[in-house]
Amino acid sequence: VTEHRSDLEDLHLYATPREQRFRRFASLEFEGQLYMTPYDFIQAVTSDEPKHAKKWRSLSKQELNQILMETPPVWKGSSKLFRNLNERGVISYTEYLFLLCILTKPHAGFRIAFNMFDTDGNEMVDKKEFLVLQEIFRKKNEKREKRGDEEKRAMLRLQLYGYHTPTNSVLKTEGEDLVPRSYWDTLRRSTSQALFSDLAERADDFSSSLSDTTLLVHFFGKKGKAELNFEDFYRFMDNLQTEVLEIEFLSYSNGMNTISEEDFAHILLRYTNVENTSSYLENMRCSIPEEKGITFEEFRSFFQFLNNLEDFTIAMQMYNFASRSIGQDEFKRAVYVATGVKLSPHLVNTVFKIFDVDRDDQLSYKEFIGIMKDRLNRGFR
């Protein structure tokens, strides 16, 4: 047993950073495959490390079935779904990647995601269509695998995907990707290829060996026969974004209606490549001596804006090419024009005080965008 545990721990050396994080936070194992609970997932996106050292607990078939029986249908979803489920749920690695995609995408992208799954164009997504997600992310994983001991990599695939050997390629590849792509880009690019080519037709083949999960039962019912419409899909994604933001906000608010500007800066700079955050915090303390506080609505609006960062970057470049300095009014207008999000004057002022290093009330926008891209992707850019 000790030797087997050592082998499993050695697999960390063959895992990518995202795979390592999933393995570190996952707490359940069923038939050799690792799963997160909803509580594990929340921890993984709001904490640096698990609160307790994780030991993978083996689920019996009976225990798994009981968990899935208690899963609510999609029309009973809310922004407290993951907190209510807590430890009573199972989330696979590919679903973990999908949920991470949701957390970093604008609401406009939800329609794109839904249409990518809706291969027959009937405005509904069924379980078979959704399960194509599994194969797309597996395909991406095979391209990213680290070279080394084939036996160890096969063990890692079993842990993360529930299969022993690489599946045959069913997606057309245009040569090896020279530029690393995000999972969102992979999803969008792969699903646009002739409506999955023969991949959708083969969905039954690779789904037959997969166990049901909380997400599959939530979306498609206990028998897997229900279909998912866009309104329910949109509400699930919006609820998930809201839930994670609420958890982060409440962890600092201590039951109050606001968090301090300094706490906002702490949250903003987490999961970024900024090594010396103290200089940013000190800069803000000097510029905002009186604490007013950031409300949840302000907090949520800022992260909605971050999910539209690419459009905002284009707007900022236009100002830059015109040799225009970026003051608070220009910043606020660019945010609204590019994203449709209205940021409060106090929130904009707080952001400026954090990033206005030379204190000329102008935004060092290249530095700001670079840091925010890191924050948006929670350190896994």
pLDDT digits (tens, 9 = 90+) for 122-146: 889 899 888 887 777 666 666 555 5
Residue 246 lies in a domain: no
pLDDT attached to residue 72: 96
Same structural domain, 121 and 230? yes
pTM above 0.85, yes or no: no
Number of compact structural domains in the chain = 2
Mean pLDDT of 282-290: 78
Residue 165 has pLDDT above 70, yes or no: no
pLDDT tens track for 87-116: 999 999 989 988 988 888 888 878 887 887
Higher pLDDT, 51 or 169: 51
Assess whether 29 and 155 both reside in one domain: yes
Which residue among 214, 241, 268 closes a domain?
Answer: 241
pLDDT tens-digit map of 297-328: 999 999 989 888 888 888 777 776 666 667 88
Cα(310)–Cα(369) distance, integer angstroms: 9
Amino acid at 100: L
Question: Torsion over CA of 353, 356, 362 and 363, rounded to 10 degrees?
Answer: -100
In this structure, is residue 207 part of a structural domain?
Answer: yes
Domain hosting 177: range is 2-241
pLDDT (0 to 100) of residue 190 = 55
- Tell me, yes or no, whether 105 and 235 share the same domain: yes
Query: Would you say residue 8 lies in a domain?
Result: yes
Q: Are 198 and 303 found together in one domain?
A: no
Q: Are residues 236 and 301 in the same domain?
A: no
Q: Are residues 235 and 290 in the same domain?
A: no
Listing DSSP states for 76-130 in one string gives G--TTHHHHHTTS--B-HHHHHHHHHHHTS-THHHHHHHHHH-TT-SSEE-HHHH
In this structure, are 83 and 186 located in the same domain? yes
What's the first-to-final CA gap in the chain, in angstroms? Answer: 37
- Residue 167, in any domain of the structure: yes
- What is the model's pLDDT at position 201? 54
